Chain A
Amino acid sequence: MRRWKTEGRREAIARTLALALAGTLVVGACVAPLKLARDDSDAVLSRQLLAAPNPSQKGSFAVKTLYYGSGTDKQRAVYRDSVTLRTAVVNGAKFASAPDPRQAKIRKKYWGFDFTKLPVNGRVWYPDAPGAFPLVLVVHGNHDMKQFSDPGYQYLGELLASRGFIVASVDENFLNGNIRGENDARGWMLLKHLQSWKRFNDSTGSPLQGKVDMHNIALMGHSRGGEAVSVAGAFNRLPFYPDDATVTFDFNFDIKSLVAIAPVDGQYRPADKPTPVSNYNYLLIHGSHDGDVSTFSGLAQYERIRFTDAKPWFKSAVFVYRANHGQWNTTWGSLDGGPRSARSLDTRGLISQADQRKFAEVYIAAFLEATLREKREYLPMFRDHRVVGQWLPKTIYTTRFQESGFRTAADFEEDVDVTSGSVPGIVLSGDSVAVWKESPVPFRARATTQAHNAVTIGWNNRIAGSDTTKMGTPAAFAMQVSDSLRTSWNVGAATSLVFSLSPTDAKPGPRAAARDTTKKADSLVKGAPKKAAPRKPSAKDAKPDTVPIDLSMVVTDASGRSASLPLSAYGVVRRPLESYVYRRAGRDKQRFANVYEIVLQTYAIPLADFVRATPGFDPARIARVQWRFDRSVAGTIVLDNIGFSNMRSEFTAQTVGAAR
């Protein structure tokens, strides 16, 4: 009897172990291996050319905090009991509404108010010193409305306040949850906050009286808040609400700068058009491993930012490899879809929260210092992140940049003629290229584009045939610049050649051998055996090209003198970085058109560097710019926003380059 019991127990244990093993195998088979791009940060971030103080270091001011708001908040004690400055509620019913009456009821029950009585609540960090200090509003994005998001930017608030900024983290939790298309409300609320701030600054007896520099304002937003700052930027200068002109606007605040952290784009479209934004400094940051906004959506807004007045604006976008969506906010954390997204999101590859926040501190503080406090020594890092290598966490970055001095020669938006530039006097040409086309730059998400065109150039210098060492003339893509254009743009030694470029993993096949016209064609020779047609490479044979890419930038002046520099000296020439967001094997490939985002790196090459490389070259008479594909046998690039810039000298004060 005992033996049977023992045998039974053994059988049960064996069965349990077998089941556990089977379960483990099932799960193991489903988990994707961790795949990360080769980290080149040791080399790329090895320099520190900026001598300015590290902007992520605390400043000299002691920091005080206060809360302002309705003073009647049902859910948050700080906006009920700890309010120093009371604010009136605002009617946001024209801008946002609950998805259905039941939800409206639920929300009202929870918050104690509906969309007609939205509170103007904020938590403030400010320097304990006489002002006036620039004002920075930061707003969160969408999240569980019951897990309050506004405290999550305390790290930025404390840092910036210690450096002489007044920072308010704006409460828009009551717009969170299951509402859609409410980003106009989020942007409008920011402007209503600014109206309150004007009162705080002007009111006698206010602890903030006279402390706020209302002529130096920045708006910063994360996720949907990142779109909201652009909306606020547009609304700020409009007389009416675009979707209902019975709502008048009268804002016109001196907003100088906008910061978008992993923003969405297009969730609100004023009059069903992309939000037009112009004449603000704009900083955009986004992580490659964003498990919520998994495409670099802000690039579309980045492209739309225009500089139309004569003021010195600039815009910069930094793509941070291995950063996610939530770690920019300490409340949100590493799981971008909430706690249960641990099941779906792969967080193994993420940089630490501390590193991600460190990056935000460095770039955001420097941006605000540069744009609100005229600390111009920080400007070069927005053109090329390599100049502050020692400040940045070790990961891979891609930088886009443009400033108001940029003159567009070719952005491929104007027509369908591939030889024409964006302005008269520019002629484009290709020599021995295998691919030459203009098309929209895709996002990684399916059926979406970055809402701008670029030119794609592919080449293969190898001549088809059995001799794999036989090479043809290096392929090239060229831009002719007319005399009148370079004169009108005042191109000279202080000018930089600027363009944005990204290699792709496509590799065209070898080019056909040039036909020998001195011989009779084989087919004309009587009795000549017919050669078999060369086998066309099938799609299966095509493998992503992983060989590093480089090319030469060749400029030629009107007298025919040429100068050449390697592109890689002015920025890393890197294929798009694959980023896998999901834990399930194959899920990224299933959900996205590509497992990478095409983010073009901006290269700004001072023409003076060409003079250093080839004395005698005259930049004031530049006649041709050539992308010569002589450093890689084959490859494909996406190229956009080609032009010249007489940018402020501060931008190029520190430059990593070949001739330096």
Chain B
Amino acid sequence: MTRSIHFVLTTALVAASAVSVVSSVAHAQASSPDQRERYAPLILKLPATARLLSLGGAQVALRDVDAVFGNPALVGTATALAFGAERYASGATAGQFASSSIIGPLGIGVGVQLLDAGPRYGTFPARSEVLTRENAAGTGSVAATLAASLSWKQLRWGVGAKYVEERVSDDRAGGVAFDIGASRSLQFLSSTVGIAVQHLGPRFGVAGRRESLPAQVALGIATAPRGFGKWLDLSGTAQLDVRRDGELFPRGGVELSYVPIEGVAFIGRVGGRRPQLRDERPVAAGGGITIDRFTLDYGWEALREGSGHRLTVRLR
């Protein structure tokens, strides 16, 4: 019992203190919301799956199928398939597909993200208002990623290449970006630490308007689910993003699973983040149900106007 309490406290410490403490540092150098929402494309700044969404978007240390979107070093650590969709307050929809598998010594991940935000006229680059305002500019955004990982010298190393494209009204910009990551398992709380340099690539633009990719360094930790009593598992994750302009964005979340019988889990999640987008808000939550190899996740995020709802199916 004492060990469980210790674990809960430590997990809470990992998740909450990282978010709150670093958040206060970040807050000290906070810039205006418009300044924060700088780079393009929009799709790279949105959490990819319902689970990630409800954990505040902290994904750089998570061993899951959606590692392809966050840290290529962790692809292949969970072989699975995931697909899902999100509906935003504006009526915009996002979708995603991810798969993670192992081929020989390599972990291989494939991921696709899509955003479709309606037909209204606007100019590149898209802003987050497309998620909350029905009359915002029509936007389509896509990112397709291929990533591979390998274990070497007690670390996992990974690299991902992605094609990204954003279309706003008639403006269409596209280009290539890269992610590089590393991760290591720690004995401490059976956790994983991960670091990734994300969204590296040349600026891309259209019709004279050029924008940089939202390149950043993300550093995070995730604890493996730990039994808390007979029926509950608790895990947590925390992450700090250091964007190319030096802005800090902490995020994190905790996940509590109730497992009434082997193979069936009811999951609750809550996460927090310092928003990178003007229309995002700090709070996210969600839940899920797992039955053997099937998981249905739901994620909810607060937005400046309304909220976003995301469903993801994971098949292991």
Contact = CB atoms under 8 A, between A and B. Distances in A.
B231 A343 contact: yes
B264 A30 contact: yes
Interface string B169-196: 0000000000000000001000000000
B230 A584 contact: no
B207 interface: no
B186 to A, nearest CB: 11
Given A102-B187, A106-B187, A27 B227 contact: no
Contacts of B227: 339-340
Nearest to B259: A343
Interface residues of A, number: 16
A23 B266 contact: yes
Nearest to A342: B230
Contact of A343 (B262, B266, B289, B291): B262
A583 B261 contact: yes
A47 interface: no
Interface string B260-300: 11111010000000000000000000000101000000000
Given A31-B261, A582-B262, A584-B261, A26 B231 contact: no
A344 B230 CA distance: 11
A187 to B, nearest CB: 31
Interface of A is mostly: helix
A583 B262 contact: yes
A648 interface: no
A26 B264 contact: yes
A587 B259 CA distance: 16
B105 interface: no
B150 to A, nearest CB: 20
A344 B264 contact: no
A339 B229 contact: yes
Interface string A18-34: 00000100110011000
A584 B291 contact: no
Contact of A342 (B187, B231, B263, B266): B231
A38 B130 CA distance: 67
Contact of B262 (A23, A26, A106, A587): A587
Contacts of A30: 261, 263-264, 291
Nearest to B291: A26
Contacts of A339: 227, 229-230
A584 B289 contact: no
B230 A340 contact: yes
Given A26-B291, A343-B230, A584 B260 contact: no
Interface in A320-374: 339-340, 342-344
Contacts of B291: 26, 30
Contacts of A340: 227, 230, 259
Given A340-B227, A340-B230, A342-B230, A584 B187 contact: no
A102 B262 CA distance: 31
Contacts of B264: 26-27, 30
Contacts, number: 38
A325 to B, nearest CB: 17
Contact of B260 (A27, A106, A582): A27
A27 B187 contact: no
Contacts of A26: 264, 289, 291
Contacts of B230: 339-340, 342-343
Contacts of A106: 187
A31 B263 CA distance: 11
Contacts of A343: 230-231, 259-262
A551 to B, nearest CB: 42
Nearest to B227: A340
A289 to B, nearest CB: 16
A151 B229 CA distance: 23
Interface in A187-209: none
Nearest to B258: A23
Q: Max chain A CB contacts within 10 Å: which of B187, B229, B262?
A: B262
Contacts of B262: 343-344, 582-584, 587
Interface string A86-122: 0000000000000000100010000000000000000
A23 B287 CA distance: 13
A587 B266 CA distance: 20
A106 to B, nearest CB: 7
Contacts of A27: 260-261, 264
Contacts of A587: 262
A339 B264 CA distance: 17
Nearest to B232: A340
Contacts of B260: 27, 343
A344 B266 CA distance: 16
A572 B264 CA distance: 41
Given A23-B289, A339-B229, A342-B230, A584 B263 contact: yes
Nearest to A146: B3
A343 B227 CA distance: 11
A579 B229 CA distance: 27
Contacts of B289: 23, 26
A343 B231 CA distance: 7
B109 to A, nearest CB: 28
A106 B188 CA distance: 12
Contacts of B187: 102, 106
A342 B262 CA distance: 9
Contacts of B259: 340, 343
Contacts of B261: 27, 30-31, 343-344, 583-584
A340 B262 CA distance: 9
B265 to A, nearest CB: 9
Nearest to B229: A339
A478 B261 CA distance: 51
Nearest to A340: B227
Interface string A575-588: 00000001110010
Interface in B154-177: none
Interface in A529-587: 582-584, 587
Nearest to A587: B262
A587 B261 CA distance: 12
A26 B230 CA distance: 19
Interface string A256-299: 00000000000000000000000000000000000000000000
A197 B266 CA distance: 54
Interface in B19-57: none
Interface string B214-234: 000000000000010111000
Q: Max chain A CB contacts within 10 Å: which of B227, B260, B263?
A: B260
Interface in A494-533: none
A122 B291 CA distance: 46
B229 to A, nearest CB: 7
A27 B231 CA distance: 13
A106 B289 CA distance: 36
A387 B168 CA distance: 89
Q: Max chain A CB contacts within 10 Å: which of B230, B231, B260, B261?
A: B261
A18 to B, nearest CB: 14
A106 B187 CA distance: 10
A26 B261 CA distance: 10
A27 B266 CA distance: 10
Nearest to B154: A102
B153 to A, nearest CB: 14
B189 to A, nearest CB: 14
A220 to B, nearest CB: 30
Nearest to A31: B261
A275 B275 CA distance: 65
Nearest to A585: B261
Q: Max chain B CB contacts within 10 Å: which of A23, A102, A343, A344?
A: A343
10 contacts: A27-B260, A30-B264, A30-B291, A342-B230, A343-B230, A343-B231, A343-B261, A584-B261, A584-B262, A584-B263
Interface of B: 187, 227, 229-231, 259-264, 266, 289, 291
Q: Which 4 pairs across A and B sit closest by C-beta, in order of nearness?
A: A344-B262, A342-B230, A340-B227, A343-B262
Given A26-B291, A27-B261, A31-B261, 9 more contacts: A23-B289, A30-B261, A30-B291, A106-B187, A339-B227, A339-B230, A343-B230, A344-B261, A584-B262
